[in-house]
Amino acid sequence: MYSTKNLLLAALALLLGRSLSAQNTPQSDSLTFSGTNPGYDHHPVRGFVHDLRDVVIRPLDWQKKDYLKLGAYVGAAGLFYAYDQKIYQFVQDNKSNTTKKITANFLEPFGSTYSFGVIGAFAINGWALGNEKSKSVAIIAAESYVIAGLITQIPKNLAGRVRPENTNPLNSKQFNGLFGGTSFWSGHTVGAFAVASAIAESYNDKPYVAYISYGIASLTGLSRIHDEKHWPSDVFVGAVVGSQIGKYLVRIHRNSNYNLSFVPMVTPQGTTCALSLKF
């Protein structure tokens, strides 16, 4: 589950990263302008708010293929929901002291603490060693984590689904209404997949990055079932939501990258200036 402390830490890291990037962005009175789109705001707060808004209103621009994809996800989530208890029980029946140590010391933290470490590693490589792509990955991964966390609070508090460890007898269909439970959907999973998808999509020319990123995120989700914190459908939906947020944020920044510059030219009619726009 997203804690207030984790969200605040991620938000502070994001604002710091955006502030540092804004300081290195040419201002509007210079000869070169760089940004992610013509209306892009490099201000650390306004830029984040714009991206949050874009994620929230994204369904308004969906095409037929997007609704078909949504239908497939809903259908898969329905299957998980129907077999939640059986899958959950299978995982519990195959637990061991070894798996408990692995989930507690390695997998579970990737949904919270370790995610900051991953983002921090990209930030250090970006600002300390001058790697521009690492800067971008650090900012977008942090932004994905924060936005996913904010959105997750809505279903968690509205659905009121009870965690497996709090049901007696075991009941995957126990919903206690508003603020009655925080099982749906998995916060650790959505956070892990938001960061993983931002990294994987940023390095989509390197397939092994996706295998590693999504592999760790998937094991993090499985650990939440193993640790009796979530039902399988909670984990599945969290994975879908987190991965879609991370992918979308990378794409809207990548697809609208441009560089606008003034190019002096000498023609038979005299000296003039042309605009050069590179995508």
- Cβ neighbour number for residue 207 with a 10 Å cutoff: 10
pLDDT of the residue at 15: 57
pLDDT of the residue at 203: 95
Would you report the helix, strand and coil content of the chain in percent, each value rounded to 5? 65, 10, 25
pLDDT of the residue at 75: 98
- Confidence class for position 16, pLDDT limits 50, 70, 90: low
Beta strands in 62-213 (DSSP E): none
pLDDT digits (tens, 9 = 90+) for 258-277: 443 334 444 555 544 443 43
What kind of fold does domain 4-30+41-255 have according to CATH?
A: Vanadium-containing Chloroperoxidase; domain 1 (1.20.144)
Q: Show me where the domains of the chain are located.
A: 4-30+41-255
d(CA 136, CA 202) in angstroms, rounded, equals 9
Contact 186, 143 (CB under 8 A): no
pLDDT digits (tens, 9 = 90+) for 143-153: 999 999 999 99
Across the range 186-198, mean pLDDT stands at 96
**Of 107, 197, 190, which is closest to residue 155 (Cα–Cα)?**
190
d(CA 90, CA 94) in angstroms, rounded, equals 6
- Confidence class for position 155, pLDDT limits 50, 70, 90: very high
pLDDT of the residue at 217: 96
pLDDT of the residue at 230: 97
- Confidence class for position 47, pLDDT limits 50, 70, 90: confident
Could you tell me the pTM of the whole model? 0.81
pLDDT digits (tens, 9 = 90+) for 71-90: 999 999 999 999 999 999 99
Q: 21-25, 55-59, 216-220, 224-228: lowest mean pLDDT where?
A: 21-25
